[in-house]
Structure 1
Amino acid sequence: MDQTYKNAACVAVWLGLTPSISNSPSQNTIISPLRIPREDSLWGDELISELVNRPYWSRVWVIQEFLLGSDVDIWYGKNNINIELFQDMILDHAGVNLHVIQHMDYTPSKIPHRAWSLATGRTPERHPDFSRPLWRLLVDHRYSMCKDPRDKVFALLGLVPEEERDLLGRFFPNYDMSEDHVVIITLIHLQEYSRVEDECPEIMSTSDDIFLGLGVNDRSRRRELLRRTADVPFDYYDDLTGNPLDSSD
Structure 2
Amino acid sequence: MNSTEGISYTGFHAGSFSANDETRAAAEAALRRVRIMSATLYPTLPHVEPVAAPAARLVLKTEGTSRGLLDGAWWPRSRDLLSELPALTDVLDPLWGRITRIAVNPKYWRVVPRRVPVDGHIVKVGWFTPEIDPHKLLLLSYGTGRWDLLVIPPETGVDSAARLMAAASDYDGPPLTASALIAADEARHTVSAADRPLDPDEAWEYEGGACAVSAAVPEQTGPPSRASQTSRLIVGM
The TM-score, its normalising length taken from structure 2, stands at 0.28
* Higher RCO (CA < 8 A, seq sep 6+): 2
Structure that is richer in strand per residue: 2
The TM-score, its normalising length taken from structure 1, stands at 0.27
The structure with more radius of gyration: 2
